[in-house]
Amino acid sequence: MDLDLTAADEAFRAEARAWLSAQVPAVPLPSLETAEGFSAHREWEHRLAADRWSVVSWPEEYGGRGASLLQWLLFEEEYYAAGAPGRVGQNGISLLAPTLFEHGTDEQRARVLGPMARGEVIWAQAWSEPESGSDLASLRSTAVRTDGGWLLNGQKTWSSRAAFADRAFGLFRSDPDAARPHQGLSYLMFALDAPGVTVRPLGRLDGKPAFAELFLDEVFVPDADVIGEPGRGWQVAMSTAGNERGLTLRSPGRFTAAAGRLAALWREAPQTAGPALGERVADALIGARAYQLFAYAHASRLAAGGSIGAESSLNKVFWSELDIALHETALDLLGPYGMLADDADEAPAHGSWAEGYTFSLAGPIYAGTNEIQRDIIAERLLGLPKGRR
């Protein structure tokens, strides 16, 4: 692993830092899990895209800068260090876009990626179903062939961002007679305002509709919105899942910045905070730095033609548990004020620690539960025999 940056890397980082310093709102935007906040964050995506900062690693023809993976990591570090807003377009940018680059058609990339980069179309992920979460292959929603496309029926749940998003991507059973559950699935994109789609928001612990249930009743999807070969959606979905558990969904910059703010909070805390909390702050700093180095090592490996593979499960378990521990420590430092919501005048840091903690609780569940990831780590990385499955 080479930690020395080139002159081009340093220049890229400096340009990003200068832009963010000038553009990041002085007062945090409202929570993106509200209608008002969602609209404000969509406008922020427009501003990022106008200067080609919304998708820096994409090719220039789709609005990116053609940045390397290492440069993307540097941008993310600067982005979070600047306290920039959360990315409301992340489901599309971090999950669907890499899938389209790998499995989509030229027409799909030309039609979908530009509006995604500009925040004109925000995407929701529609994978989980009642009784079908981590065991994704057990899903029951269907796609039935019709003239010029497919008819979708069924129910999706815990669909991130679907309460306010424009479109969704998901997996559907298109061949009920396939020999195995992983076979006969198709990967489709559909509009959330299409006839036959009902969106019912789901509130999380703080009541904000961060998720939604989707009810699909004879929803027509044209052939042009099928990603990959019909019936081979599982292979396409595993591409999305690899990105979700790998580097792109949760960059280390998110955690190094949060750990830095936690250390500042510790320095401001009264002396009565005690050494035990100090040790937890130190653990968060060490964990964030370890994840950063882990990510740099992966970037070096990928640049040399390697791959991540099952180590993405190791990655996912680590950042999701670090996120909870880091925010719990912050709330313990802040005391009773820590859990005040972002609309409370006395809320520290505009309620960002409480918002971050609530969001972090979902980390061990989405992108494949940590229990399943530990099975994968045990079997594929440690070579242990299969357990409960």
Residues acting as catalytic residues:
244
Of 240, 256, 316, 238, the residue nearest 73 (C-alpha): 256
Which phi and psi angles does 173 have, rounded to 5°? Answer: -85, 110
CB of 154 closer than 8 Å to CB of 142:
yes
Helix (H, G, I), strand (E, B) or coil at 302: helix
Which phi and psi angles does 126 have, rounded to 5°? Answer: -120, 75
Helix (H, G, I), strand (E, B) or coil at 42: helix
Please enumerate in sequence order all residues whose Cβ is within 8 A of that of 233, keeping only pairs 6 or more positions apart, or say none: 171, 172, 174, 185, 186, 187, 188, 227
Radius of gyration of the chain (CA): 21
| Helices 252-268 and 69-81, packing angle to 10 deg | 30
Q: Which helix (H) or strand (E) holds 106?
A: helix 106-117
Measure CA of the first residue to CA of the last residue in the chain; give whole Å: 36
Q: Which tokens is 173 given?
A: 């059973």
Q: How many residues does the chain have?
A: 389
Please enumerate in sequence order all residues whose Cβ is within 8 A of that of 386, keeping only pairs 6 or more positions apart, or say none: 375, 379
